[in-house]
């Protein structure tokens, strides 16, 4: 007998696959056609021709000729990427492959005969959610593998909560909702596993039968009322099997709960609009407390309300999404029934005295996660926590949705006037402080060419022109054009936050004082309170109108709302200004130092220089003024410092600072400032 060229141990070969089919370990899967159908159901794209290719040794991509152990069989390795599905169908593990082809065949038939003798008369048609803490001791691994095979033999359908596919909170809840029982393995280290504790709390709160398998000597504490508690031995023996079967049978004998499917009130819906459409699904409560269930429902309602106040978004009403409160559907179901492009889902949990919210934005078309974030807040004032968490989620969601929708339009060739405005709005903040926001202005002009009465495009052009004039790239001769577009935008969209923001920017740039711009910005904040930009600009205006503390608090709130999007440098600029108005000079310097994208903007250096001057460091103040690359007329700086900036600070301090400007070659005489 010739010796094999390569050992077959640890390899799934065609001979082993043939033995599995002939032994009947796969139940009804005893032919190549049945195997192909079963693999397709498991998500593998394969046909009976692919199965035949393995057996006929013609799989050119993977089949490598190999002499089998017995010397006269020719065997070929099955592609390793198919193994997980095949092993699941036949209920075997990787360690079972550590035999040669002949020994493996004998093992398969012996195992099948033993199973026929042990199999109970009745099959347990149960959906079992199965969880074991990853901190389990190593010696439990073999026991758990044996137990899973035994459960499959009893007819149970296993949904493994340890699978990375169900890593998110909402995925775990979907598994628990379609299961009849939660089988949870506890050990000494499980008390430090938050996922284990939350899963048990959720099952207890929602009255899902709970079967706990614990180490001998482990004492359970808490409020959970499990369906049964089993003491787990070191080996999977007959006594433990009988106890486990009895516990499962007790659950099976009770009236089976109906599968939690969402009520299909509608046929498949087409997308409701070409703009971002979103549904806020009920947040999952992992705390096991009814009080927090009400909190989660209120959070969902408030999020829906705040997102609906962003005029460009189409938001499904809270009364509609509440139908999913007790049966959380998958993303494809939501898209099919509601016709939305995005889904916001999340969970609520408690960590000590803190409330933790996990929020995730999902593309309903692909199921891909686009954005996720964790938010925390103290529980001392639940209503304040609810308001601040809701505003923070909406503030960070808004720019993410805009960016993704720009990309969506580019992928699908759907470049409408609205999407052109979206892109221009994005570049307006990303390109600053360019002297002229060219890319954003080009987008606004294209949108206006498509729709001459498009109010958002008029507002965008006005804001772009005012931005260019404020940063020094454009001259005041363009002010009439900026005013015309801002007024047209307000006439077309009188209660739109962007039109109000355009009017605020225009009246600030003219300038007409700060009271009128503040009125426009205050109204924009009322209409869209989660917009960090409107909050920051209104805080800046308040601080410079003498309401320094209120303005500073609003600027800090804007930074908390949107700490990492493209508008952060603008928010830093306004926060630093509010710090100076309150006399917090060192904090202002720290904040301004973060505005590296604004290093070419003269008023960043003017503000930093003033802060240094108030701290008594005239050398650094002068150094800041000398960083100004393209100085404007001295009277412009004099007017801004004396008439619009830091109105609550003494005029003598400002005049003293203005005396440094001639030394920095920014002006020759104070008389030019009249």
pLDDT one-digit tens code per residue, 11-22? 888 888 888 888
Of 207, 226, 214, 165, nearest in space to 190 by CA: 214
- Reported residue count of the chain is 674
User: What is the model's pLDDT at position 269?
Assistant: 54
Q: Say which range, 257-266, 294-303, 313-322, 441-450, has the weakest mean pLDDT.
A: 257-266
Q: Considering the domain delimited by 277-412, tell me its CATH architecture.
A: 3-Layer(aba) Sandwich (3.40)
Predicted confidence at residue 63, as pLDDT, reads 45
What gap in Å lies between CA 160 and CA 183, rounded to an integer?
10
User: How far, in Å, are 217, 328, 381, 518, 542 from residue 284 at the CA level?
Assistant: 33, 9, 21, 40, 39
**Residue appearing with tokens 């593309």:** 363
Rounded distance, CA 515 to CA 537, Å?
Answer: 13
Distance CA 261, CA 280 (A): 18
Identify the pLDDT of residue 49: 77
Pick the closest to residue 436 from 394, 467, 398 (CA basis): 467
Q: Cβ contacts of residue 407 below 8 Å, gap of 6+?
A: none
Residue 137 has pLDDT above 80, yes or no: no
Greater confidence (139 vs 39) lies with: 39
CA–CA separation, 320 and 265 (whole Å)? 10
Q: Give residue-wise pLDDT tens across range 353-389.
A: 778 888 888 888 777 888 888 888 776 777 777 787 7
CATH tag, 127-253: 3.40.50.2300
pLDDT tier, 67 (very low <50, low <70, confident <90, very high otherwise): very low
- Please determine, for residue 433, whether its predicted confidence score (pLDDT) is greater than 60: yes
Banded pLDDT at 258 (limits 50, 70, 90): very low
Architecture category of domain 416-528 in CATH: Alpha Horseshoe (1.25)
Give CA–CA dist 417/5, Å, rounded: 68
Residue 191's pLDDT band (boundaries 50, 70, 90)?
low
Strand partners, 183: 130, 211
Question: For the chain, what percent of residues have pLDDT higher than 90?
Answer: 13
Least confident stretch, 129-143, 235-249, 453-467, 496-510: 129-143
pLDDT band, residue 578 (cuts 50/70/90): very high
Of 147, 73, 133, the C-alpha closest to 105 is 73
Distance CA 668, CA 147 (A): 88
Query: Is 50 exceeded by the pLDDT of residue 263?
Result: no
CA distance readout (Å), 38 to 86, 351, 385? 9, 43, 50
Q: How far is C-alpha 243 from the geometric centre of its chain's CA atoms? A: 43
Residue partners of 448: CB distance under 8 A and separation at least 6: 417, 454, 457, 458, 461
pLDDT at residue 116 greater than cutoff 70:
no
C-alpha 92/C-alpha 149 separation (Å) is 7
At residue 188 the predicted structure's pLDDT band, cuts being 50, 70 and 90, is low
Residue 256 has pLDDT above 60, yes or no: no
Residues 305-340 pLDDT 10s: 888 877 777 888 887 888 787 777 888 888 888 888
For residue range 611-620, what is the model confidence (pLDDT) as tens digits?
999 999 999 9
The residue among 288 and 38 whose pLDDT is bigger is 38
**Contact call for residues 498 and 489 (beta carbons, < 8 A):** yes
Cis upstream peptide for 488 (omega within 30°): no
d(CA 266, CA 340): 13
Phi, psi of 539 (to 5 degrees): -65, -40
For residues 234 and 509, the model is more confident at: 509
- The pLDDT-based confidence of 85 (bands split at 50, 70, 90) is confident
Domain 568-674 carries which CATH code?
1.25.40
Nearest to 252 by CA among 149, 127, 120, 119: 127
Q: Is the pLDDT of residue 602 over 50?
A: yes
Which pLDDT value is given to residue 222?
44
> Where is average pLDDT lowest: 13-17, 47-51, 564-568, 659-663?
564-568
Which strand (E) or helix (H) includes residue 129? strand 127-132
Q: What is the pLDDT of residue 588?
A: 92
Q: Please state the φ and ψ torsions of residue 72, each to the nearest 5 degrees.
A: -115, -10
Helix, strand, coil shares, percent, the chain, to 5: 55, 10, 35
Query: Could you tell me which residue, 333 or 62, shows the higher pLDDT?
Result: 333
For residues 143-148, average pLDDT: 78
Q: What is the reported pLDDT for 270? A: 56
* Mean pLDDT over each residue of the chain, to the nearest integer: 78
The pLDDT value recorded for residue 617 is: 92
Comparing C-alpha atoms, which of 462, 529, 450 is closest to residue 493?
462
Contact indicator for 501, 459 with CB cutoff of 8 Å: yes
State the residue for tokens 């806020």.
Answer: 280
pLDDT number for residue 667: 65
Q: What is the mean pLDDT of residues 516-525?
A: 92
Arithmetic mean of pLDDT, 644-663: 88
Q: In the predicted model, is pLDDT for residue 201 greater than 50?
A: yes
Please report the pLDDT score of residue 221 as a whole number.
47
Measure Cα distances from 596 to 12, 572, 607, 627, 631 in Å: 59, 10, 14, 13, 19
3-state secondary structure (DSSP) of residue 353: coil
Q: What's this model's pTM, rounded to 2 decimal places?
A: 0.59
Model confidence at 609, in pLDDT bands (50, 70, 90)?
Answer: very high
pLDDT over 60 (residue 477): yes
Report which of residues 396 and 268 the model is more confident about: 396
Whether pLDDT at 89 is above 70: yes
What is the arithmetic mean of pLDDT over 76-83? Answer: 76
Backbone angles phi, psi at 63, to 5 degrees: -70, 115
- Contacts of residue 136, Cβ cutoff 8 Å, sequence gap at least 6: 144, 185, 187, 189
Based on the number of CB atoms within 10 Å of its own CB, is 215 exposed (0-12), middle (13-18) or buried (19 or more)?
A: middle
Whole-number pLDDT of residue 458: 92
Instruction: Report the DSSP beta bridge partners of residue 130.
Output: 160, 183
pLDDT > 70: percent of the chain: 80
Q: Which helix (H) or strand (E) holds 358?
A: strand 354-363
Mean pLDDT of 523-552: 89
Residues 479/470, Cβ–Cβ less than 8 Å: no
CA distance 211 to 475: 75
Residue burial 540-558, b: 16+ Cβ < 10 Å; e: rest:
bbbbbbebbeebbbbbbbb
């Amino acid at each position: 007998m010739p010796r094999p060229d390569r050992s077959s141990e640890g390899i799934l070969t065609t001979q082993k696959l043939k033995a599995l089919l002939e032994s009947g370990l796969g139940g009804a899967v005893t032919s190549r056609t049945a195997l192909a159908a079963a693999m397709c159901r498991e998500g593998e794209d394969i046909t009976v021709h692919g199965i035949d290719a393995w057996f006929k040794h013609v799989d050119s991509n993977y089949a490598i000729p190999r002499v089998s152990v017995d010397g006269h069989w020719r065997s070929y390795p099955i592609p390793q990427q198919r193994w997980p599905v095949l092993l699941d169908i036949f209920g075997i593990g990787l360690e079972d492959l550590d035999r040669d082809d002949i020994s493996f065949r004998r093992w398969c038939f012996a195992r099948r005969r033993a199973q026929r003798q042990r199999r109970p008369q009745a099959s347990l048609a149960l959906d079992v959610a199965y969880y074991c803490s990853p901190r389990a001791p190593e010696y439990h691994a073999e026991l758990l593998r044996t137990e899973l095979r035994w459960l499959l033999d009893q007819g149970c359908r296993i949904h493994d909560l340890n699978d990375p596919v169900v890593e998110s909170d909402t995925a775990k809840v979907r598994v628990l909702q379609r299961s009849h029982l939660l089988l949870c393995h506890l050990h000494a280290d499980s008390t430090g596993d938050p996922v284990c504790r939350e899963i048990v709390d959720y099952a207890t709160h929602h009255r899902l039968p709970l079967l706990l398998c614990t180490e001998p000597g482990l004492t359970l504490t808490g409020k959970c009322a499990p369906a049964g508690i089993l003491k787990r031995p070191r080996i999977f023996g007959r006594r433990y099997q009988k106890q486990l079967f009895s516990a499962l049978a007790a659950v099976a004998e009770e009236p089976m709960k109906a599968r939690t499917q969402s009520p299909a009130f509608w046929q498949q819906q087409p997308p409701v609009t070409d703009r971002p459409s979103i549904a806020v699904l009920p947040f999952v409560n992992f705390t096991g407390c009814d009080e927090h269930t009400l909190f989660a429902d209120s959070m969902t309602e408030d999020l829906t309300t705040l997102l609906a106040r962003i005029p460009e978004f189409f938001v499904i009403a809270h009364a509609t999404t509440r139908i999913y409160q007790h049966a959380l559907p998958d993303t494809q179901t939501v898209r099919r029934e509601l016709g939305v492009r995005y889904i916001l889902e999340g969970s609520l949990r408690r960590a000590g005295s803190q409330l933790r919210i996990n929020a995730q934005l999902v593309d309903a078309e692909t199921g891909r996660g686009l954005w996720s974030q964790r938010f925390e807040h103290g529980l001392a004032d639940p209503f304040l926590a609810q308001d601040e968490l809701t505003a923070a989620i909406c503030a960070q969601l808004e720019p993410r949705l805009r960016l993704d929708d720009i990309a969506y339009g580019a992928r699908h060739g759907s470049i409408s006037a609205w999407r052109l405005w979206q892109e221009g709005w994005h570049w307006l903040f990303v390109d600053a402080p360019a002297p002229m926001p060219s890319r954003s202005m080009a987008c606004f002009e294209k949108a206006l060419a498509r729709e001459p009465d498009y109010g958002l495009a008029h507002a965008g052009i006005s804001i772009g022109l005012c931005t260019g004039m404020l940063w020094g790239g454009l001259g005041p001769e363009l002010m009439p054009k900026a005013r015309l577009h801002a007024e047209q935008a307000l006439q077309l969209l009188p209660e739109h936050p962007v039109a109000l923001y355009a009017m605020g920017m225009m009246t600030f740039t003219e300038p007409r004082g700060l009271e009128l711009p503040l009125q426009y910005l205050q109204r924009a904040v009322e209409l869209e309170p989660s917009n960090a930009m409107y909050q920051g600009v209104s805080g800046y205006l308040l601080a410079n109108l003498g309401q320094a503390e209120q303005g500073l608090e609003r600027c800090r709130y804007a930074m908390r709302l949107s700490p990492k999007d493209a508008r952060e440098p603008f928010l830093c600029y306004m926060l630093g200004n509010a710090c100076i108005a309150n006399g917090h000079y060192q904090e202002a310097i720290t904040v301004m130092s973060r505005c590296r994208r604004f290093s070419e903007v003269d008023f960043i250096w003017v503000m930093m220089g003033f802060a240094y001057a108030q701290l008594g460091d005239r050398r650094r103040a002068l150094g800041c003024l000398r960083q100004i690359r393209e100085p404007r007329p001295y009277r412009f700086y004099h007017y801004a410092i004396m008439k619009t900036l830091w109105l609550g600070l003494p005029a003598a301090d400002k005049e003293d600072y203005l005396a440094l400007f001639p030394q920095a070659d920014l002006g020759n005489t104070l008389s030019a400032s009249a």
